[in-house]
């Protein structure tokens, strides 16, 4: 927010910080613990979750790239919210690798410490919560309660989210799978898998893998992605491609680490 207002008027910007994701200044100050100094500029930003905001991104000059947890959670919830299927409280149990904390070592985020440990952090206060709820209101009629918990996963990279959702009506696993597949029909980088995804299959790629399970009116959606690619730089490149009229996949057909 210090830099962008000073850029030339025609410059195109994709911001990977959290500075322009939230449209409410009070919510920003509450979750980022600092005052927002460029709310007038923020109002010009488009939220850069490619799969839910593709057409707006094509026309945008300023993009606020989503957070990694927000990307994993929103891709897991968007088809349910858009089709008005979610009922009651939604619980997101999300886990991330040590690279989610950046390159600078800190007492509780340094990889050697995290690699042999497991713990929760920022309960009820994670900065991606208002971002998730804000975008869900753009996707559909979101009035549900969201419980969002994050955990340190003892791996270097990758996010895995288990999203527990009540359904308004009973639906079979196959029917719900088809609903997700139809929603992401034109989204190359979202893959539906049977059962649970595995972060090893998305690591070093721009893919988000989604799996699900259903019991009556209870569903769980599993979402896995690489926090450094689809959760950050990869999605930024995907958005850049759209902004400049390039094929969305340009530069992003990356080789995964699993054979």
Which residues are tagged catalytic?
A: 68
Strand partners, 163: 92, 221
Question: How far is it, in rounded angstroms, from Cα 176 to Cα 170?
Answer: 10
Helix (H) or strand (E) holding 123: none
For 182, counting Cβ atoms within 10 Å of its Cβ (0-12 exposed, 13-18 middle, 19+ buried), the class is: exposed
Q: Are strands 159-167 and 218-225 parallel, antiparallel or unpaired?
A: antiparallel
Which distant-in-sequence residues (6+ apart) come within 8 Å of 189 by Cβ?
A: 50, 51, 206, 207, 208, 230, 238, 248, 249, 252
Q: CB–CB of 180/193 below 8 Å?
A: no
> 90 - beta bridge partners?
146, 165
Per DSSP, helices labelled H in 83-209 are: 111-114, 128-139, 173-183, 199-202
Q: Could you tell me the sign of the dihedral formed by the alpha carbons of 132, 76, 73, 220, in that order?
A: positive
φ, ψ of residue 78 to 5 degrees: the values are -55, -45
Tokens 């975008």 belong to residue:
135
Q: How far is CA 174 from CA 78, 170, 192, 215, in A?
A: 18, 12, 12, 12
């Amino acid at each position: 927010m210090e830099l962008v207002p000073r850029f030339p008027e025609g410059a195109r910007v994709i911001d990977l910080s959290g500075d322009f994701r939230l449209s409410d200044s009070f919510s920003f100050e509450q979750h980022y613990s600092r005052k927002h100094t460029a709310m007038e500029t923020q109002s010009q930003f488009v939220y850069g979750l490619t799969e839910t905001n593709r057409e707006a991104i094509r026309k945008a000059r300023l993009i606020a790239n989503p957070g990694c947890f927000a990307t994993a959670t929103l891709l897991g919830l968007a088809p349910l919210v858009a089709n008005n299927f979610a009922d009651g409280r939604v619980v997101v149990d999300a886990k991330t690798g040590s690279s989610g904390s950046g390159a600078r070592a800190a007492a509780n985020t340094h990889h050697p410490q995290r690699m042999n440990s497991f713990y929760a952090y920022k309960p009820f206060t994670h900065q991606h919560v208002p971002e998730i709820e804000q975008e869900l209101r753009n996707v559909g009629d979101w009035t549900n309660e969201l419980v969002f918990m994050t955990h340190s996963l003892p791996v270097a990279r990758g996010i895995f989210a288990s999203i527990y959702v009540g359904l308004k009506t009973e639906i079979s696993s196959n029917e719900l799978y088809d609903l997700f597949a139809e929603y992401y029909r034109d989204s190359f980088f979202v893959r539906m898998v049977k059962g649970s995804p595995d972060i090893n299959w998305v690591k070093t790629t721009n893919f988000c893998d989604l799996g699900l399970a259903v019991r009556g009116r209870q569903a769980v959606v599993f979402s896995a992605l690489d926090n450094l690619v689809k959760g950050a730089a990869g999605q930024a490149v995907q958005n850049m491609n759209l902004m400049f009229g390039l094929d969305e996949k340009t530069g992003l057909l990356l080789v995964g680490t699993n054979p």
